[in-house]
Amino acid sequence: MPTHIALLRAINVGGTGKLPMTELRALCEGLGFANVRTYIQSGNVVFESRLSAKRAQQALEDALEARLGKRHAVLLRSVEELASIETRNPFPDADPKQLLIVLLDAPPPRDALAAVKIPGRERLHLDGRELFIHFPDGMGRSKLKIPLAGEGTGRNLNTIRALLRLAAP
């Protein structure tokens, strides 16, 4: 049975989308997903399902809307797709906690970053459905504004690596 890694957008961040991970696991199990595991409180769940990625994503989004009363985007990746993030990392020397990967549902237009003004030493690289952002001075201090980032959900490289370990057989 294929393993899927779901990254939920706007869950337990800034007081929005409150959902304890025990409830997220139960919700996924209720959908018939198997071997459900969660990682930290920000909406990361690994599971197995015979459903296609698109159908599993839709089922989880529908269940979250029913549970939370509001639509929350779910970005789904296979183990191979998530592992390719590390392989494609354009900033291999960056501190993993200072490297944010914004996962998108679909590749954006090539000029999606054309109007972005970089206020500091941040570095950006768009590759397919992922936007890599290196914050050498820390994410909390940055004044960088990227409209495209609001269409996806971000995880630092440490979280990506932890999810890959969780998904390993």
Q: What residues are paired with 46 via a beta bridge?
A: 5, 37
Provide the whole-model pTM: 0.92
Could you say which architecture CATH assigns to the domain 3-79?
Answer: 2-Layer Sandwich (3.30)
- Radius of gyration of the chain from Cα atoms? 16
How far is the C-alpha of 15 from the C-alpha of 109, rounded, in Å?
Answer: 32
SS3 for 92? coil
Single out the residue of 8, 13, 10 nearest to residue 28, CA to CA.
8
Using one digit for the tens of pLDDT, what is the confidence trace for 42-73? 789 999 999 999 999 999 999 999 998 888 88
Q: Rounded mean pLDDT of 14-42?
A: 88
Using one digit for the tens of pLDDT, what is the confidence trace for 86-137? 999 999 999 999 999 999 999 999 899 999 999 999 999 999 999 999 999 9
Q: Residue 123 is encoded by which pair of tokens?
A: 């570095």
SS3 for 74? strand
Q: Are 137 and 121 in contact (CB under 8 A)?
A: yes
Q: Which helix (H) or strand (E) holds 80?
A: helix 79-88
